[in-house]
C-alpha cells in the first residue's frame, strides 16, 4: 500500500488516473495535458504500474494504459477505518461539549 500512496502523492499521476477512469489511453495521450515528454510521462506511468494502479499493454510501437482499480479499493478501505475512528471521536467530543453547555448557567441577556 506504500506504493499506492506514493503514486497518489503526485498531482500529475492523480490526473492520469482520472483520465484512465474514462477509458484506455496511450502514454502520449496521458502526457498531452501536461506538456511533458513521453519519457517523463512514461516515468509517471511506471510509478503507477509499480503501485498496481495501471496496466500497460504494448501494441506495436504504442503503449496503451488502463486503470486497475483494485489497489484503490484497498487504500479506500484503509482510509475508511480512520474516517470512522475520527468520526466517532468527533461525535464523542460533540456530546461532551453539548453536555457541558447544558450545565452552564445562562449569562445576562441569554435565554436558557
**Could you read off the pLDDT of 72-104 as tens digits, one per residue?**
988 998 889 888 888 888 888 888 888 888 887
Q: Which pLDDT value is given to residue 34?
A: 93
DSSP string, the chain: -HHHHHHHTSHHHHHHHHHHHTS-EEHHHHHGGGT--HHHHHHHHHHHHHTTSEEEEEETTEEEEEE--HHHHHHHHHHHHHHHHHHHHHHHHHHHHHHHHHHSPPPTT---
Question: Global pTM?
Answer: 0.73
**10 — pLDDT class (breaks 50, 70, 90):** very high
Domains along the sequence of the chain with CATH:
2-69 (1.10.10.10)
Amino acid at each position: 500500500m506504500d506504493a499506492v500512496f506514493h503514486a497518489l502523492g503526485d498531482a500529475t499521476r492523480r490526473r492520469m488516473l482520472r483520465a484512465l477512469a474514462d477509458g484506455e489511453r496511450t502514454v502520449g495521450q496521458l502526457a498531452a495535458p501536461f506538456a511533458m515528454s513521453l519519457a517523463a510521462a512514461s516515468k509517471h506511468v511506471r510509478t503507477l504500474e509499480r503501485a498496481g494502479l495501471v496496466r500497460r499493454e504494448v501494441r506495436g510501437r504504442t503503449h496503451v494504459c488502463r486503470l486497475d482499480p483494485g489497489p484503490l479499493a484497498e487504500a479506500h478501505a484503509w482510509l475508511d477505518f480512520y474516517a470512522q475512528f475520527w468520526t466517532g471521536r468527533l461525535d464523542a467530543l460533540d456530546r461532551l461539549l453539548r453536555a457541558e453547555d447544558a450545565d452552564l448557567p445562562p449569562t445576562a441577556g441569554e435565554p436558557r
